Structure 1
Amino acid sequence: MKRTMLALAASMALAPNSWADSQFKLLVLAMPSKYHYEYIPIARDSLERLAKLHAFEFDWTNKTQSFDGDLSRYAAVVFMNTPGEELNPAQRQNFEAYMRAGGNAIVVHRAAITPPDNWPWYEKLVGRRVGVHPMLQTGVVTVADKGFPATYGLPERWIWSDEFYTTTNPYNIRINTVLGVDESSYDPRKIWPGQVSEPMGKDHPIAWHHQVEKGRVFVTTLGHNGEMYRDPQYLAHLMGGIYWAVTGKGAAPTPALR
């Protein structure tokens, strides 16, 4: 009887750990820059809460040396407001090899901006080239793909304040648009003196996904300031993109054509 009770107590002590097994692990690169630094503690805290809620882990770093080692243990790499240009040539090659082997990536806001032709492979991974962009304004974000996980927590027309990046497609990359923005809801030409920003028209993607090498890539250009990383709808958008990039699951089936 005593042995039975001891075995039961041992199993109860071990059970919480087994129930809390991590589903996957992320590498998050978040380096402070001139315009993006205050978001770091907020985004990290919010990601910790998401990790506890959804049973995953992450390594948070502001050092590119994390790209020197074995990346295969990570289900995805998150470039959090930090573009790939920060990686040195050897680290770039290591990341490319990771994607060729089936790794995945999430690109957030400033991470989509990289100097033209500095690392063409990374520009292709992002899928679009970001040029100058209008000032932060309040506008209407529109859901382009309501069957994609990064839209599940959002209304079809969402009032949001951000820098709505304008982009070009010099490498003719096919992307799947997740969110767009209604340019009639803000001023696409409102920009700093000496710069010019032109509207993109009806086709103005601000979040998208596509396949790169053997991996999945989710890009959201939203997320300029720190308070955004406390917003439940923005975090649902980000988590939906992470979930899809890591698993490839969650997208609603496309209705059959008749």
Structure 2
Amino acid sequence: MRRIALLLAVVMTLVSHAFAADTQYKVLVLAMPSKYHYEFVPVARESLEWMAKLHAFDFTYATTADALDKGLSPYAAIMLLNTPTEELNAAERAHLESYMQSGGNAVVVHRAAMALPAGSWPWYEKFVGRSVGTHPMLQTGVVNVVDKSFPASFGLPAHWIWSDEFYPLSNPYNIAITPVLNVDETSYDPAKIWPGQKTQGMGKDHPEAWYHSFEKGRVFVTALGHTAEMYRDPHYLDHLMGGLYWAATGKGVQK
């Protein structure tokens, strides 16, 4: 009986390990805190842990840039989560570039869409697909789904009341993107920005989320995600998961 009990215990341990390892892909999440973005770090980690269990993927959650030095090939995608990219050193930048050039994929979230100062890292601005201009104040506006076929829009209402920093964007390198969400500039004041800056808004075509191919991989960008509370919001988490799912697998677009 003892032998049978021991054998059953061994079998159950092996089975539990097998199920624990049954994940679809692995993601590196680089969530570096910065002066204005730090409270999100533990909140986003908790939500990503829940998402990973629900959707059967593994992730490494890093808060320092040296995670880019530790070998990126195991990752189906890298999520740059509010990452202050100006803090990446030359080697870390080179590793990210090499990863994309080797067929890697990426998700860029909010603050990570900025390359500061503008023009200092042209590769990265091309990678994002747009350049962030002035830094607006947080306001409530209407975000509209403009691509119903893309996974990052599936969990969202067609017209979404959302409060965020709606970054004005430019396209100095003429990069083609496919917008997923646009913000309606008539629903907030695009001229309401931090002192010492000027902007006139972008008009009707003001993307807040988009995707494109870059180097040999896929890039999904959402400019939304300023405050910690957003990383508990079901709509926002659906939006983030849809973009990550596509970036990591290339699947989900409804044709």
1:181 equivalent in structure 2: 183
1:53 alignment partner in structure 2: 54
Task: Report deviation, 1:8.
Answer: 6.0
Name which of 188, 193, 196 aligns with 1:194.
196
Counterpart pick for 1:244 among 234, 242, 246: 246
2:230 is matched with which residue?
Answer: 228
The residue number in structure 2 matching 1:19 is 19
* Aligned residue in 2 for 1:29: 30
What is the one-letter code of the residue matched to 2:148? K
- How far does the alpha carbon of each residue in 1:162-181 deviate from its partner, in whole angstroms, 9 at most, with x for none? 01111000000000101001
State how far apart, in whole Å, the 1-side matches of 2:133 and 2:90 are: 24
Measured against aligned partners, the alpha-carbon deviations of 1:89-143 in whole angstroms (never above 9, x if no partner) come to 1221121111111101110000001121211101100110001133111111000
Q: Which amino acid aligns with 1:188?
A: P
TM-score, reference length from structure 1:
0.92
Count of aligned pairs: 253
- Residue 200 of structure 1: how far off its partner (Å): 0.6
SS in structure 2 of the partner of residue 187 of structure 1: coil
- The answer for unaligned runs of 5 or more in structure 2 is none
TM-score by length of 2: 0.94
Provide the secondary structure at the position in 2 that maps to 1:66. Answer: helix
Letter of the 2:77 partner, please give it: A
What amino acid sits opposite 1:240 in the alignment? G
RMSD: 1.7
Instruction: Give me the identity figure in percent.
Output: 64
Deviation by residue 1:135-160 (Cα, 9 ceiling, x = unmatched):
11111100011110000100100010
Tell me what 2:143 maps to.
141
Look up the equivalent residue of 1:39 and give its one-letter code: F
Moved more, 100-109 or 195-204: 195-204
Structure 1 stretch 193-202 or stretch 46-55: which is displaced more?
Answer: 193-202
Alignment-mate amino acid for residue 251 of structure 2: K
**CA offset at residue 191 of structure 1?**
1.9
> Which aligned pairs between 1:1-258 and structure 2 lie closer than 5 A?
10-20=10-20, 21-115=22-116, 116-253=118-255
Assess if the C-alpha contact under 8 Å between 1:109 and 1:222 holds in 2. yes
- Shift of residue 11, structure 1, vs aligned partner: 3.9
- Cα distance per residue 1:69-99 (max 9 Å; x no partner): 3110111111110143322112211211111
What is residue 256 of structure 1 aligned with on the other side?
none
